[in-house]
Amino acid sequence: MTGAGGQIAYSLLYSIGHGSVFGKDQPIILVLLNITPMMGVLDSVLMEPQGCALPLLKDVIATDKEEVAFKDLHVAILLGSMLRREANVKIFKSQGAVIVVGNPANTNCLTASRSAPSIPKQNFSCLTPLDHNQAKAQIALKLGVTANDVKNVIIWGNHSSTQYPDVNHVKVKLQGKEVGVYEALKDDNWLKGEFVTTVQQRGAAVIKARKLSSAMSAAKTICDHVRDIWFGTPEGEFVSMGVISDGNSRGVPDDVLYSFPVVIKNKTWKFVQEDGSYCKDTDRRKETAFEFLSSA
């Protein structure tokens, strides 16, 4: 995890060490990277997971050396928002999943992928599930249900104010029955107006209100994102992820980092087509990239 002394890492460490991401029986070795001037801050952050006596935390390695941090990883979470080209990710020693969080997330993710050509580009993704979750939450609040009762939101494009939240496939559970969101809300003007604007500007609104970024929601979404990759998406549901396009989906040119709806099974993601089906010819085989930490 890069940027490990920051706010998001502080919120994230507990969930990872407690089994919310990789399961309740998977031992974890955390490798935390920070820049040299921030190592004192990182030391203070480490006091928290150590004090929690987290049951799955086998070891924590804190370092300011990239050659230590990026060796033999299974999953890399890039939290830092100033990814340096040809500095961080090029020195992976084994293939793994790379999740980019720091903004501009799509651009940073593409830069990371191109700086690490030995890692399959399909192993890189960026955090548009944050926008996906925010869209679910807005619909849930409007209807007085929980976010778990809302599924199949789509975020198109960037993790930024230029994204577009699409509700055409959204289903909502109301009184034990799944219905389309337009039928559930009966408020097309809200869905096409205030809803879109709120989701697009949610991050900026949090920063304006707190004077800090949305660390809690970002950390929770990172957990969701990695868990979906690790265990797959629930049957009948898809999620939004910023991934590399292949030129065959929704008219997006080849090799663009773009948020699409995807389903994940056996640590493999597939694009979801306009009719809700899965595009079989765009299977993303991760091969050994997502092996469990069986030796941990």
Distance in angstroms (rounded) separating the CA atoms of residues 215 and 228? 20
- Assigned token pair, 161: 């104010």
Tell me the residue type at 148.
Answer: N
Residue 233 DSSP code: P
H-helix or E-strand containing 60?
Answer: strand 57-63
- Name, in order, each residue with C-beta under 8 angstroms of 214's C-beta and a sequence gap of 6 or more: 130, 202, 203, 206, 207
Give binding residues for NAD(+) as ranges. 88, 101-103
Binding site: which residues? 88, 101-103
Q: Exposed, middle or buried: residue 273 (CB in 10 Å: 0-12, 13-18, 19+)? A: middle
d(CA 197, CA 206): 14
- Given the residues 74, 132, 159, 225, the one annotated as active site: 159
Say whether 74 is catalytic: no
DSSP state of 2: B
265 near 255, Cβ under 8 Å? no
Q: Which residues are catalytic?
A: 159
